[in-house]
Amino acid sequence: MSKLTVAILFGGRSSEHTISCATAGGVLEAIDREKYDVIPIGITRAGAFTLEEDAYAKFVMDPANMPEVRDNGTRIRWPESAATREFRYEDADGAIHSLGNVDLAFPILHGPFGEDGTLQGLLELVGLPYVGNGVLASALGMDKHFTKSVLAAAGVEVAPWVTVSPRQWSEQNELWRGRAHSLGLPAFVKPARAGSSVGVTKVSRWEDLDAALEVAFAEDTKAIIESAISGREIECGVLSGRGGGPTRVSLPGEIVMTSREFYDFDAKYLDDSAAQLICPTELQEGELRELQRIAARAFEAINGSGLARIDFFFTGTEFIVNEINTMPGFTPISMFPKCWLASGMSYPELIDELITLGLEAAR
């Protein structure tokens, strides 16, 4: 059986560049080399597509020295049309070399310019099959306002919120401040289109709202102000069904904070003592069924394909969706693979499954 050639894309222009690199390192280490030839394509912070070393150790998560795609002078030449899948690259001296045909792209990017449908649109234009969600689901999942709007229309509970732009906050401050105050305290302020808790602030006094919005607006041109929900933070993994079958939902994991007020960027990636990730976590049988039902409903509501991680608050009586992550963190210790490991699927098997689903979606 001949090997498939998989192009792994990672890095990118977003503030989650380093997290994408760490995710790619996990996949490069675990992907089955007897089944797949791998072409690592790094995207610099400036947006240059470069041919990277096939060296997972280069992208290990290290809080003191976070991994990064640096410009090595090479440039990826994309297929010239949808009639061919040949990739080429230009080396630092300007010579052009063929990388051969690519069977599938595995885009492991988080945040804008990668997880938001933009890269997925490029892959659609060149006719290349790829892992994960399509243009619509990626765009919806990236934008918290539209995620909430679609889920609420589908009957899925979400935290009350308002969405505001810098212009609205400046020109109609009294109106928007009143809408924010109607949500009550505490509240969370978030960039509408960012992930990994970048730019997120918990507001416990209204006097701090302007500063929190300034932080959010540094990441995006609109911000979400939402009611804080008191409850357990529970997450689960979702996979498309094979052959049009039902959506699959993993056993759930739980985030238990130990030293920080909420699960911010540092708690997720830099401070091992800030939180415990418990997987699987305990739920009553009926509670588990309800969580899995809502997770599948949320995934289908955004027209999901391939994979997602659904984040909930569980109040003890109801599950409230916090976010849908259409390309969740994918290092071996991330919650998404841990949930599937608890459900009986190993990390290499999960990579296989995602590649299979990506090829199936392209047929």
Q: Tens of pLDDT along 276-325?
A: 889 999 999 999 999 999 999 999 999 999 999 999 999 999 999 999 99
Q: Tell me the Cα Rg of the chain.
A: 21
Q: Are 329 and 19 in contact (CB under 8 A)?
A: yes
What single-letter amino acid sits at 163? T
Structure tokens at 119: 């890269």
Q: Which residue reads 């006097």 in tokens?
A: 207
What are 5-40's pLDDT values in tens digits? 999 999 999 988 999 999 999 999 999 999 999 999
Compute the Cα dihedral for 153, 311, 111, 6 and give only its sign.
negative
Q: Are 192 and 223 in contact (CB under 8 A)?
A: yes
Q: Which residues contact 137 (CB under 8 A, 6 or more apart)?
A: 117, 302, 303, 304, 305, 326
- Domains of the chain, start order: 4-130 (3.40.50.20), 141-157+230-361 (3.30.470.20), 161-227 (3.30.1490.20)
CA-to-CA distance for 360 and 244, rounded, in angstroms? 10
Mean of per-residue pLDDT scores for the chain: 92
**In this prediction, what percent of the chain has a pLDDT beyond 90?**
84
Confidence check: pLDDT of 196 > 60? no
Q: Which residues contact 80 (CB under 8 A, 6 or more apart)?
A: none
Phi and psi at residue 275, in whole multiples of 5°?
Answer: -155, 155
Question: pTM score, two decimals?
Answer: 0.91
Q: Are 27 and 59 in contact (CB under 8 A)?
A: no
Give the pLDDT of residue 267.
Answer: 47
Structure tokens at 91: 């080396």
